[in-house]
Amino acid sequence: MNKFKALSLVFLLFGATVFLGCGDKENDDKENDEIIASFEGSGTQIDPYLIGTAAELAELADLMYMCDTYAEYTEKYYKLTADIDLSDYKSGKGWKPIGTYEGYDFRGHFDGNYHTVRGLYINADEYKFVGLFGWISGGTVINLGVEGDVYGDENVGGLAGNFGFKSLILNCYAAVNVGGGWSTGGLAGSISNGSSVINCYATGSVSALGSVGGLAGAISYDCSVTNCYAANSVHCIYGNMTGGIAGYFSGIDTRSKIENCVALNPSVSEGGAFVGRVIGLSTNGTLTNNLAWEGMLVNGVTVADGSATNGTDITALQAKTQTAYVNLGWKFGNNDDNPWKMGVSGYGLPVFWWQATAPTVMPEHLK
């Protein structure tokens, strides 16, 4: 956009994001008062910035990369007003994630407002913190769907590369094919530092080098994941730690928990060690009341249920039955407090009350 001065130089050197400054200081001072976002609204909780086009969403990403705008816009409130198609951002490496890394992460509050961002495309195997969002710290993302294809280096996810520092992700889904290096998942590459993920699901496929999960590659440091499911295939190329929900899970005590989640993946496989239907490797925290499809192939064979990392068996028929989820405490209805519903467009798994169409076709293994 021509009202912006040149973007801050952001380079990726040996897979690490390096921020190199903001250009000419004299010109920066002269143009500082011209850098004003085009969004309607004031960015407050009661009057959020409104985003209704792909160009406006790209503008938000740009604001997170610029020295003179980052501090002004990172902790604001944003709200989608329409579904967004990112098909015009498929050239080169594709979409630039919103928020890059610690110090230039996204700390705001993003309300998808029951809309979906489609056509997300990133193909940058040297990038870290890759997804629609790169790194979210202490922020929130609610009521949002993401669909597309994402490939990066480390911390790669359909919705975000990393959710950190007490972030909240609520009522969101990612129907994304995801590929990466370490810490790669269908929804998030990593979930860390007291963050919570509630009522979310992931479909598509996930393939990466290590620490790979259907929902998240790694979940660590007092995080909670509740009432979520993953129905994507999960493949670890040669590293360790692969699971239907998460590849790696750790925490200090019972504050770290994965509970009432369902792993409906057709298969989880890896080239190294530590693989499970729910979790690949769990070093602490609690795993409670989690289910897994009984026919899931774990490195090519089915496994017995009962262990915390493998979960309790659920049949394909039960996976398509509302009662199975109600028994886990999931809420079905027609509002945010009762977000789930069944039976949309021949898709037999739960979706959100606001979804009129299914995000993907019904997985073959559950038909």
Report pLDDT digits (tens) over 2-40: 332 322 323 232 233 332 223 332 323 334 445 688 999
What digits encode the pLDDT tens for the residues 329-349?
A: 999 999 999 999 999 989 999
What does each C-alpha distance from 285 to 20, 35, 81, 168, 253 come to in angstroms? Answer: 39, 46, 39, 19, 5
Domain ranges of the chain: 10-366
For residues 251 and 317, the model is more confident at 317
State the residue for tokens 């085009």.
38
At 14, list the tokens. 């040996």
pLDDT at 68: 84
Nearest to 157 by CA among 109, 114, 195, 103: 195
pLDDT at 99: 95
pLDDT at 253: 62
CATH class of 10-366: mainly beta
Question: Please, which residues have CB within 8 angstroms of residue 251's CB and are 6 or more apart in sequence?
Answer: 220, 221, 222, 223, 257, 284, 285
Q: Is the pLDDT of residue 289 over 60?
A: yes
Q: Is the pLDDT of residue 290 over 90?
A: yes
Q: Is the pLDDT of residue 313 over 80?
A: yes
Greatest mean pLDDT among 103-107, 251-255, 257-261: 257-261
Q: Mean pLDDT for the chain?
A: 89
C-alpha–C-alpha distance, residues 324 and 329, integer Å: 9
Query: Which residue type does 148 have?
Result: G
Any idea what the Cα angle at residue 156 is, between residues 151 and 158, rounded to 5°?
80
C-alpha–C-alpha distance, residues 343 and 19, integer Å: 47
Q: Mean pLDDT throughout 81-110? A: 93
At 315, list the tokens. 């049949």
What does each C-alpha distance from 184 to 20, 309, 364 come to in angstroms? Answer: 27, 18, 24
- Categorize the per-residue pLDDT at 301 as very low, low, confident or very high, splitting at 50, 70 and 90: very high
At 136, list the tokens. 């979210």
pLDDT at 4: 29
C-alpha–C-alpha distance, residues 227 and 231, integer Å: 14
Is the separation of the CB atoms in 312 and 305 below 8 Å? Answer: yes
Q: Is 135 helix (H, G, I), strand (E, B) or coil?
A: strand
What digits encode the pLDDT tens for the residues 220-239?
A: 988 999 999 999 999 998 88
Q: Mean pLDDT throughout 136-165? A: 97
